[in-house]
A = this chain, B = another copy of it.
């Protein structure tokens, strides 16, 4: 009894016939609109059940002109950071009865364009994305098509769209400061690709903190935001003439690579080297020692992004919002205790934000 070409081919027509009513009545029952006799309603519902009827969204959408569907385009869906954000988005969309269409650009602007086009054709009501490039021209056509976009995690300079990020500068500043307060003077920074705004801003925070601490000499290695990048950057630091006594790593995957590098050199943490990572990922408490990290509210970030986008869809002309979320420096054991007693940061307490992007 396999269905031929088109799945779910029972229509409102057939339901109407079976129930002995008009299609209009069936429609009314479906949308439980106002006035329908209980008797009629019952007949229709029975017919629906017996036939295994499902409304066809394509037809609904065509008719209504409005679509409860949102496109989500990430740059690397296997990065746990994005995964967690995705979970937040999914949660909010589901609550609002929106469907989520997912794409992965894999950091490739070409693939990104493909997905954006597919989203437009699919008729999504809005798009949440993490841009692969900072070139605003690549994204204009979506806005021109009347589809609102929301940029998450990264910013696209000059593009007038809602944006949700974390306080990158401040977060890196505080983390660096934490290390400096513990007595470290040689604090290195493993950064990310320079065309990524997150990398740039975090680097700014790091540099500022080093400067404010009396012009300590900065030391920066650039990684690729992936595990191998963190590993290699750490190698470079460790085999250099003068090893840093502490290091701040700009994202979660690179932190893993860096840890591996440190272990392989049999250097103790925090005795031999102190380390602060980004992202409070599931594994950080299982590392040895448990990691001090800058926690981003990833799930919340996704939730807020989705809500903001839905608002925008409803009221397109509201003022553009750029939301900057607070991070939290979570102190565990990878940095040790004060070498000089002057730290003011408390364990597990959110930081004040006194710097902003």
Once the chains bind, are B58 and A67 in contact (CB under 8 Å)? yes
Q: Give chain B residues whose Cβ lies under 8 Å from the Cβ of A244.
A: none
Interface flags, A123-162, vs B, CB<8A=1, else 0: 1110000000000000001001111100000000000000
Residue A204, interface by CB 8 Å = no
- Interchain nearest-CB distance for A1 vs B (Å): 8
A24 within 8 A of B: no
Q: How far is the CB of A195 from chain B (nearest CB, A)?
A: 23
B65 touches A5 (CB 8 A): yes
Closest beta carbon of chain B to A266's beta carbon, Å: 11
Name A147's closest neighbour in chain B (CB-CB): B7
A311 to chain B, nearest CB (A): 14
The answer to whether A102 and B104 touch across the interface, beta carbons within 8 angstroms, is: no
Chain B residue contacts of A263, Cβ below 8 A: 286, 288, 290
Roughly how many angstroms separate A276 CA and B102 CA in the complex, as a whole number? Answer: 34
A290 surroundings in chain B (CB, below 8 A):
260, 263
Distance (whole angstroms) from the CB of A189 to the closest CB of chain B: 19
A3 within 8 A of B: yes
Number of interface residues of A (CB under 8 A): 75
CA separation between A60 and B83, bound complex, in Å?
A: 32
Chain B residues closer than 8 Å to A101, beta-carbon distance: 99-102
Provide the bound-state CA to CA distance between A325 and B167, in Å. 44
Instruction: Please provide the chain A residues from 18 to 76 with a CB less than 8 Å away from any CB of chain B in the complex.
Output: 52, 54-62, 65-67, 69, 72
Q: Which listed segment binds B: A85-93, A176-184, A213-221, A340-348? A: A85-93
With contacts A78-B83, A263-B288, A282-B253 taken as known, whether A8 is within 8 angstroms of B103 at the C-beta atoms is: no
List the B residue with the shortest CB-CB distance to A317: B2
Residues of B contacting A114 in the complex (Cβ-Cβ under 8 angstroms): 94
Instruction: Decide if A62 touches B54 in the complex (CB within 8 Å).
Output: no
Instruction: Please state if B7 and A146 are interface contacts (CB–CB under 8 Å).
Output: yes
CA distance A84 to B104 in the complex (A): 12
Q: Which residues from B are CB-within-8-Å of A351?
A: none
A287 within 8 A of B: yes
A54 touching B120, Cβ below 8 Å:
yes
Asked if A104 and B121 sit within 8 Å, CB to CB, the answer is: no
- How far is B21's CA from A49's CA once the two chains are assembled, in angstroms? 46
With A121-B54, A253-B282, A287-B288 already in contact, the answer to whether A146 and B90 are too (CB < 8 A) is no
Residue ranges of A at the interface with B (Cβ–Cβ < 8 Å):
2-9, 52, 54-62, 65-67, 69, 72, 77-78, 80, 83-84, 86-87, 90-91, 94, 97, 99-104, 111, 114-115, 117-118, 120-125, 141, 144-148, 227, 253, 256-257, 259-260, 263, 281-283, 285-288, 290, 299, 316-317
18 A-B pairs within 8 Å (CB atoms) are namely: A4-B316, A6-B65, A6-B146, A7-B123, A8-B123, A52-B145, A54-B145, A57-B122, A69-B122, A77-B83, A77-B87, A90-B102, A91-B104, A94-B103, A99-B118, A100-B103, A253-B282, A260-B290
Give me the 4 closest cross-chain CB pairs, A-B, nearest first.
Answer: A3-B146, A288-B288, A6-B65, A58-B61
Q: Please give 12 more A-B residue pairs, beta carbons under 8 A apart, in addition to A8-B120, A90-B104, A99-B122.
A: A2-B317, A4-B146, A5-B66, A58-B62, A77-B83, A83-B83, A94-B104, A94-B111, A259-B286, A263-B290, A281-B283, A283-B287
